[in-house]
Structure 1
Amino acid sequence: MADKNRNAKTRTGDLSRHDWLVAAVSALAEGGVEAVKVERLAKTLGVSKGSFYWHFKDHAQLLAAILDFWAADFTQQLIDNAAGLATPKERLRHLARQALTKTIFGIDSARAEAAMQAWAATDPHVGMRLCAVDAARVGYLEKELLENGLEPAKAQAGAKTLYLALLGLYIARGYNQHLADDQVYMALVDMVLE
């Protein structure tokens, strides 16, 4: 029994805050915010609930950290990944291909996006945070389209078109794979860039 407890302790020490956040977003994607329960996450990760408290004060802090993680790893990181490319066209095409990636950290990206939106629709604080993420995403697209030579009104419309089309594609992935056509989305990116 002592060896089993020692192994559990070692496993606890091996888990990072990132591990807990990935598990939490995965649970969110699978069952909504109601599925983000400490006990359930601990079971999924194969550790005791005590491991959770190495990284988070409480459940509320975990939920707040999910929002930060979403803004950083599911938004800013994608933008940063494209930053080194030479032209707006290259950056936007690269960003679009990344956004079409079906899984990030093993999480279904379309389901996670839908779960975030559903959570935002029921919690005003989350809604405000998600509006800020939407604004950052659309703002980045608009900036790149302006840099590509579009007039301000067309850049703004193009940015919103690309973003809303991507959200629609994510929704369609859940029920109609034929409609959720990544190549059609990339063709839309090219049309907006022309």
Structure 2
Amino acid sequence: MVAAKATEPDRAGDLAPDAWVTGGLEILSEEGIDAVRVERIAKRIGVSKGPFYWRYPDRPALLKAMLTHWRAERTRGLIDQVAAETSARKRLDTLVRLALRDRYGSIDVARLEGAVRAWAAQDDVAAAVIREVDSERIQHLEGELALLGAGPTERSKLAQAIYIGLIGLYTVRRYTPEFAADPAYLAIVELVLSAAEGRRDGHQS
């Protein structure tokens, strides 16, 4: 029995480390949390169910790993990609453009964001993660806007404008894509960044 496991073509060691997580996120984005089942993921990634239990003790452990992965890749991962930019404005502009990309690997970004939030509406663990992620994203925006010159009250409002606009755009992409105009959103972001810089330069906008 042990020997058979060691030579199975679908043994856990033959899979990418995040294969189960990626497969779960793909299904989540397409069909929602109730469709994320071990059997469904195994079929998608072309293995039997056996290797799943060599990596995760149960489905809840996989769901936790999915949330952790989503949080890391779609928040800190994006922030890290723009860290080398030399100005706050350039970092924010590039960050927004990265967030606007339609796909993250094989996954539709807008559908994934919507699916995670729908999951949070029925699950306390997911809801807690969403609250933390929203706070982390907005705090990062506030920090960059502060470097541009926005005061405490103003930068909070401006950060929320950027973030709520992005989440709204994701929603429009899913349900009324004909109105999902990235240039319109980028124009709003440009106005927000200019307003923050105007405060630094002592201008009224």
Q: TM-score range by the shorter chain?
A: over 0.9
When the two structures are superposed, what TM-score results if normalisation uses the length of structure 1?
0.93
Residue 63 (1) aligns with residue 60 (2): no
Shift of 1:77: 0.1
- 1:14-29 matches, cutoff 5 A: 14-29=14-29
- 1:111-150 matches, cutoff 5 A: 111-150=111-150
Partner deviation per Cα, 1:22-69 (whole Å, 9 max, x = no partner): 111111111111111000000000100012123211111001111111
The CA distance in 1 between the partners of 2:126 and 2:10, in whole Å, is 35
The CA distance in 2 between the partners of 1:55 and 1:11, in whole Å, is 11
The CA distance in 2 between the partners of 1:113 and 1:38, in whole Å, is 21
- Output the amino acid matched with 1:180: A
> Conserved in 1, the CA contact under 8 Å of 2:10 and 2:47?
no
- Output the amino acid matched with 2:15: L
Residue 142 of structure 1: SS of its match in structure 2? Answer: helix
Aligned to 2:179: 179
Aligned to 1:159: 159
Specify whether residues 157 and 16 from structure 1 end up closer, same or farther in structure 2 by C-alpha distance, changes over 3 A only: same
Unaligned 5+ segments in structure 1 are none
Shift of 1:16: 2.3
> Conserved in 2, the CA contact under 8 Å of 1:111 and 1:174?
yes
Aligned residues: 190
- 1:86-125 matches, cutoff 5 A: 86-125=86-125
Shift of 1:11: 6.3
> Conserved in 2, the CA contact under 8 Å of 1:22 and 1:105?
no
Q: Which has the larger radius of gyration?
A: 2
Unaligned 5+ segments in structure 2 are 195-205
The CA distance in 1 between the partners of 2:10 and 2:34, in whole Å, is 29
User: Alignment RMSD, CA only?
Assistant: 1.5
- Output the amino acid matched with 1:78: L
- Output the amino acid matched with 1:56: Y
The CA distance in 2 between the partners of 1:12 and 1:41, in whole Å, is 14
Residue 177 of structure 2: SS of its match in structure 1? Answer: coil
% identical equivalent positions? 40
Partner deviation per Cα, 1:145-177 (whole Å, 9 max, x = no partner): 011111111111011111110011001001222
The CA distance in 2 between the partners of 1:42 and 1:20, in whole Å, is 8
- Higher relative contact order at CA 8 Å, sep ≥6: structure 1 or structure 2? 1
The CA distance in 2 between the partners of 1:7 and 1:162, in whole Å, is 52
Aligned to 2:202: none
- Output the amino acid matched with 2:126: V
Aligned to 2:82: 82
Residue 49 of structure 1: SS of its match in structure 2? Answer: coil
Partner deviation per Cα, 1:102-151 (whole Å, 9 max, x = no partner): 01021000000000000111112211111000000111011100111111
> Conserved in 2, the CA contact under 8 Å of 1:17 and 1:55?
no
Shift of 1:81: 0.6
Shift of 1:17: 2.9
Shift of 1:6: 8.7
